[in-house]
Structure 1
Amino acid sequence: MAAPNDSGEMDFLPEDSAPPENSAGIGVPEQTVWRVLAVDDDAGFRQSTAFALSGLEVQGRPLELLQATSYTEACAILGREHDIAVILLDVMMETDDAGLRLARAVREVLGNAEVRIVLVTGQPGLAPMQSVMRDYDINDYWTKTELSVARLHSLLTANVRAYQQLVTIARARRGLQLIVESSNLLSTSRTLQEFSTRTLDEIATLLEVDPDGLICVRQAHAPQSEVRIIGAAGRFARLADHPLSDLPAPEICAALQQAISERRTLVLERATVPYFPASDDDTGAFAAWVATGRPLEPTEIELLHVFASNIGAGLHNVALFSRLDRVAYHDELVDLPNRHAMVRAIDLALERQPRLLSSLLLVDLDNFAGTNLALGPEFGNRLLRAVAQRLRQALMPTVQIARLENDVFALLGPREQIDADRVRGLLDAADDSLPGITAGIAELDLRDWRQGGLEALTAAHMTLKLAKAQGYGGLARYDARDEDAAVERFQLANELRSALAEELIYIELQPQLELRDSGAPGFEALARWRREDGSMVSPASFIPIAEATGAIVALGQRVFQLACEAILELAASGFPQARIAVNVSALQLAREDFVVQLLNTLSTYNLEPWQFELEVTESLAMHSFEHAGGKLARLREAGFTIAIDDFGTGFSSLAYLRRLPVDVLKIDRAFVSEIGEVADAHAIADVVLRLGQRFGLRIVAEGVESRAQADWLSARGCDLGQGFGLARPMPLAQLIDWLRARTAGDATPRR
């Protein structure tokens, strides 16, 4: 796309060309334009866009063109400008996916669902159209060569109209929600002045203007001129409870008198005068004057009419909006307030001073998903209703109860009334309606909380994860340091993805030595991460992050590929019989293509399965026995050696162990460390050794730190040992030197 030529096509402009003085939106007030953001690092394309949009109007409004040259610059503009209708977005800028990352940020980070995003690329086929539009919520997709002036005008017109419709719908939705909320808020007013002042505030919120106005009443059967100000805000606040005649603004007085006399709402150029119809003639006539500073949109006028009718129609409409409020803020399944209602309740609690008694508890029923799956959703629903009823009956009325989602309940109230131990006892007590159940509980003290209700729930949810990680019946109390740790984990997760992409992950190999003759038939591949600045990240830090985020799949594949390269290098260095053990995660084993992927990788390197040992943890092998067992059997049939890692730390069934396709048991280092510390008859390592020998399995002891431990294990028939006491993990080049030294007869086991 470029500047239009005589034929209506687009020609690129030279770098020094400038858009004409009357380009789109220049000098036009912000509220009267459609704003378009063009994001492209091509200066010629940006200038062409400005020429093409010059003088274009959509529905009587000109376009104002904003331009950005990068992802960062566009983010800054979107962060401060909230009324952009259309984004013309290039895919490739400072990075190949900068445009797609920006689209995702607009939808997911900014939460902007209304702005229309048109992807414009100069490289057809770089981003597949269908998947990109679906995955990134893109609204239109064009190549630059396809965009003539006419086509650009057409797609902008269509997308601006779509944006206008979406904004109208969103504004109406927000307005109706505000009306529902204001109806409940106003219903709590105890005096006419309080009611009217709150009404002014609600009108200002509805119209998104500052509360600046007054509300009047002419009592029933009173003379036409006897109108009194019963509530006021902004510059009129001092006139509350004064006759309207005291107001030194004749045009405002006249507008209010007209609205009351004609019983209708007036919409003026820079103000609005809502009239509130009464349910009967005995309640008087009410009207308000609110400064808007601008003409109202049609949607705002309709919402204002709805609001005015809601306030003035009496009990009938109050009941109607109460039902709407119930839909928006009530959980019908358990007959409790929902998440939205709890956020509102927390906000109200935080406004009260002092906050000495406010505490928030989140209660997450243990194994509810398993119960639902085993006994059916209807039983699950009955269980949720029984929990809700138990909490309602047992807790004081001062405690507010809500169901947030699925099986998570929230309690808000005085600390002594929602003590975690008491809630545990309530759930644990079984009767005809509710079996004894356990739950994870998170507690947040609101006394020093300085944020809002939504943030409080978010923090409590984070704390709840810590409670659930403790197992059934876990309890965790909010600590701001946990949030800091969560931020660090998030940052480390992002850094790990970059490290994988930049190949900063490498392996070290730790020998597995034969305890009888110190031969080294195999090695375990251990992932290591060295940052670009040379600092190391401990596997104890990044392995759990990889497992939690799913990056363990890419990490596992990276380690396996590096192990393949190590096998080739060992063979070239004179050690063709070397075997390398590689850990396999639960997520890897769960993938349907895992076996095929391993075999394809071996084929790429021209290697054989017998050269590798695949280690799975005991808990992984037992967690989904049929699924895991089937995958392990296929791998073993293909020629891989299968090992059970950390044996003895899980919950093995001997019947399952006999059926598992396993060749090797690895004794966990915790049991090896007991050797010499407990009596031989009580050593768990001895039990594992006998069990492995009974099943005909090869035994590897992990964490061997001393010669005494190695001798003890060897005397009891343990085949192999692995640990710092025998040989430390080494980079490949150092390992080859170590092996050559041993072969030459001048090496001793590394300590």
Structure 2
Amino acid sequence: MSAANALTTITETLERLLAGDVLARTGLPHDDSDAGRLADAVDRLAEDAQARRRHIEQVTYHARRVNRALHTLSASNRALLRATGESAQLHEVCRLIVEVGGYPFAWVGYAEKSEEKPIRPVAHVGADEEFVAGLNVSWEDGERGRSAAGTAVRTGQPALIRDMAREPNVALWREAALAHGFNSGVCLPLRIEGEVAGVLCIAAVETDAFDDEEIKLLAETADDLAFGIETLRARQRQREAEEAFRRVSRQNELILATAGEGIYGTDTAGVITFVNPAAAALLGYEREELLGRQSHATFHHAKPDGSPYRSEDCPMHTALTTGIAIRGKEEVFWRKDGAPLPVEFSSMPIEEEGKPAGVVVTLMDISERKRYLAQLERRSNYDDLTGLPNRNLFADRLSHAINRCQEGGMLAVLLLNLDRFREINDTLGRNAGDQVLRTVSQRLAVVAQKADTLARLVGDEFAALLEGDGTDLAESIKTCLSQPFPVGEHEFFLSASIGIGNYPKDGESEEILLKNAAAAMYQAKAAGGNVFRYYAAEMNARSLERLVLENALRRALENDELVLYYQPQLSLRSGEITGVEALIRWQHPQRGLVSPVEFIPLAETTGLIVPIGEWVLHNACIQNKLWQDAGLPAVTVAVNLSVHQFAAQDVVALAARALRETGLDPQYLELELTESAVMADAEAFIHATEKLKELSVTLSIDDFGTGFSSLSYLKRFAIDRLKIDMSFVRDITRDPNSAAIALAIVSLSHNLKLSVIAEGVETEAQLNFLRARGCDEMQGYYFSKPLPAAAFEQMLRERRKLDFPPESELPERVLLLVDDEPPILATLKRLLRREGYRILTAGSGQEGLEQLASHSDVGVVVCDGRMPQMSGAEFLGKAREMHPDTVRVVLSGYTELKSVTDAVNKGELFRFLTKPWDDNDLLETLREAFRHYEARRR
């Protein structure tokens, strides 16, 4: 090319460069000619310009990307400051990333900890729901977990997708992402409360769109978002805690206000800081008067005798200084009016940050309890009806009198029994009979003023103790009783059969003297009454025959002629044998089998019923223990007690000794007393049964419905069940009156929280009638006659039971017991075995939930209040949520306010019972709970 043309080309190239075309080149060879050297200089100038432009573009592009990240961070922070809810906050940050930052798509996912470890999208902007639903990412170490989102969660570090078209780990999502124009992306971990809980993902249109500085800024956005989530959750927890605190405070205030016990609290100086209405009322103050006052100086300043009570000796002060709770202590507080107030109180120290802060005191007025105990003490020595000494006090005074006369002197013991007194009871009722007995006692008191003691022993039987032979007093008694007894508009004439025994001629001990006086009294009764007889060794022929039989009966005990038969008792719900009644038989070597109707009355009149009854009780306990030791199903053995045993023996000590010597668990012994015997001296029976219940034996009234019990007495008896007399059962399907009485007894029993058993069931119709109307148990020839021990043992081995037809089946009652103490579970199962429940057990709250999950037919749940790992309140709360149909009962040894309120609030309780429990209350509570459950299911 000519020099001119080359120069033209170079000139044109320079003009293009000046115009901004950095790609312009001369296209001339770079040789040693002038044109070549000039072309080389121009081309190098063009390359330099091109390089500078490329650098400017890169700087500009980088600045633009950093700028959008900065805008995103700034806008997000402002949004976080204004956020009020977590969901709205997440959506707003995604929106700002897209609209302010210019990114096409952003989403937030939470990492769930289920087995498949999914990442659940919770907010997104820039893509439709179908695309988001199709993400289906995970953070497990598998194919779905190798996505950028899964990697970010798993490693806790940002994960980058540089090129969606080529990245091997995004194959599952490539097609959908490219279709939406997403060619690269970054996923940033969300570290919430110390762990990676989610991920923030951002997409870009360009490939390789994110450099280190931009990622760093976006990571700050993710960190700020995580902090915002933490802050919102903390606020929410605080609001919930404050609301819970307000709710609990309101509930505690309500509990304090409505609690029957008095409750107050003091600070470390003993100054009262709070007091509930019950405490203020007990102490005779208004609440406002007590607040701010020193508790010891106000109502605990003096001892019962009026001497000063130093504050250092105060139990509340001791609880505060030692940090040890004081429970169940009796003290005397002083009311505002100066009257003493006997209380039982507990003092619980409270702490704040490990330091003593005061005490909480609960107190209960025990004035009524102390009066009741005093009454019981009197009742143990005096007859409630007449006010005369009873058998216990009479025996004590007789013993002292015998001791006084050891070196000389004569005593007379008079026993008298009213003739035809039963006619008054049968004709005019028991109230009239009681009126007559009071009048008799008043007349006897007048004529027996010189007697050492005048007593009412039992029913219409009285006794007198005096010095001398007793003849004059016997005559005076006959005379005073010969006057008519007015009862309302009627008059009755009474007489008495009197027996006299003299010390030392007729006996040198209290027992023999009373026995011989009783024998003389029965001679007087046999003579037609209205006479008195001295005890004499010479008997007439009839008395001799009676004596022979009596002696034979005495030998029967020594010669093992007495045997026990056993008649099964069955549950009318399950058909299973739950108990057995021990019935005595006498196998006389010459006379054969002597009827109990013949020898039991003889044993009662002669006092032999006492050793015979003791033998029956002891041997029945031995036999039942042998059956249990042989691995046979545990049943309760029922033993009849005679009224004479109650009168002549300490039946509490007798039962305790039998249980101790035989090793039988008290819950497997039942003591029966006939209704008529009970009502002969109801107050004495009440006292004795209260003591017997302390042994944990079962008590029942036999032949109920025949003795005209007073309902006012019945509700005071410490008994467990009633037995419907066979005279009503016999005609229950034919006689409306018998049926009505039987049903009334069933209803009365259940209302008094007693169980009920029917005796003498002989037909299927009788069985079905009783079963359909809620009778709990049966006994009678329909299932079995009384059996020798070996035959009944075989029946137990064969698990014999009544099989009810399907159409008569009652719904099965399934009970779940939850307690971490195995002995408690075992005791409850033994107690409930007669109820016919299918019982499930669990040793912890977790096991309890597993039992509920495996047995959908559980109706009632009984749970301990305190268990390790999961408390009773927590367990019942979960049971309520997951199994709302169940009826829930707490049986707890702890009654602190928090335990009670937690259980009530979380578990929606049916009842809250305490340990140790009352067997009757627990049994009836569970019956009510199942009735409630079945009614709700219907």
Normalised by the size of structure 1, how large is the TM-score?
0.39
Higher relative contact order (CA 8 A, sep 6+): 1
Normalised by the size of structure 2, how large is the TM-score?
0.32
* Larger of the two Rg values belongs to structure: 2
